[in-house]
Chain A
Amino acid sequence: GESVGLHLPTLSVQEGDNSIINCAYSNSASDYFIWYKQESGKGPQFIIDIRSNMDKRQGQRVTVLLNKTVKHLSLQIAATQPGDSAVYFCAETANNDMRFGAGTRLTVKP
C-alpha cells in the first residue's frame, strides 16, 4: 500500500504486505530528515533518519528514500505487522531547525 502524505492521510494495508508512506517536504535548504512513529497516547518515536547527501538508508524492516530533486521523502516498511499501526510523521531540518509534516495514519489489517 502507498500514501501520498498530506493528500491521503490514511493508509490501510494487509498484515505481511509492504507499506510506503510518502512525504513532500517544503524547504529546499533542509539537509536532514527523520521519520517518527507516534502511537496513540504516546509521543513521537524516532524510526530512521537520512542526511541530504544520501538517497537511501536502510534499517531493520524500514527503508527511507530521499529525492531532493522533487523534495520527496518516503518510508518503506517491509512485512507490515499489527504493531506498525500508528501515525507516521516526516520531519525536515534546516539550520538545525526541525519541522514536522502533518502525518499519515497507517492501519494494518490482520
Chain B
Amino acid sequence: DTGVSQDPRHKITKRGQNVTFRCDPISEHNRLYWYRQTLGQGPEFLTYFQNEAQLEKSRLLSDRFSAERPKGSFSTLEIQRTEQGDSAMYLCASSFWGGTAYDNEQFFGPGTRLTVL
C-alpha cells in the first residue's frame, strides 16, 4: 500500500453514462497526476495538479473528461457520455514536488478499472 487510494476499484457502466472517480493522495504531497492504462501498455499521462491548480492536460483528455482538485487534497476525474474506448484502468499518483524531477517520485494508487458496455 503506497498511501494513495482510489475509489471505486471497479466500475461497469453503459455507454453514454457519466462516471466519476476519486483519488486521495498522500496527505503532504502537493502534486497529483491522472493516467490512463490499457491492457499491456504503459500508463498514459492525462493531467496533473500542483495543489489546486491544474497545470497540464494531455491531448488525450477530450472535452468529455474533466478533473478537479478543489482544495488541493483529493481529486476527481469525471468522464461524461462514456464510450467503449474509454474502457481502461485509470491510475492516480501523487508526489512532493521540490523543484526538480529527480526528487519527484510518484506514488501510484491501485487504479480504477472502468468497463464501458
Q: Which 5 A-B pairs have the closest CB atoms?
A: A43-B108, A100-B42, A96-B101, A89-B42, A93-B101
When distances are taken between beta carbons in the complex, the residues of chain B under 8 Å from A45 are 2, 108
Cβ of A41 under 8 Å from chain B: yes
Interface residues on B, range: 20 to 34
Which residue of A has the minimal Cβ distance to B42?
A: A100
> Main secondary structure on chain B at its contact with chain A?
loop
Cβ of B25 under 8 Å from chain A: no
Q: What distance in Å separates the Cβ of B6 from its nearest Cβ neighbour in chain A?
A: 8
Q: Which of A83-107 contact B (CB under 8 A)?
A: 89, 91, 93, 96-103
Q: What distance in Å separates the Cβ of A57 from its nearest Cβ neighbour in chain B?
A: 12
Q: Are B43 and A51 in contact, CB atoms less than 8 angstroms apart?
A: no
Q: Are B40 and A103 in contact, CB atoms less than 8 angstroms apart?
A: yes
> 0/1 per residue, A17-49, Cβ < 8 Å to B?
000000000000001100000000111111001
Quick one: which of A42, A43, A89 contacts B93, CB cutoff 8 A? Answer: A43
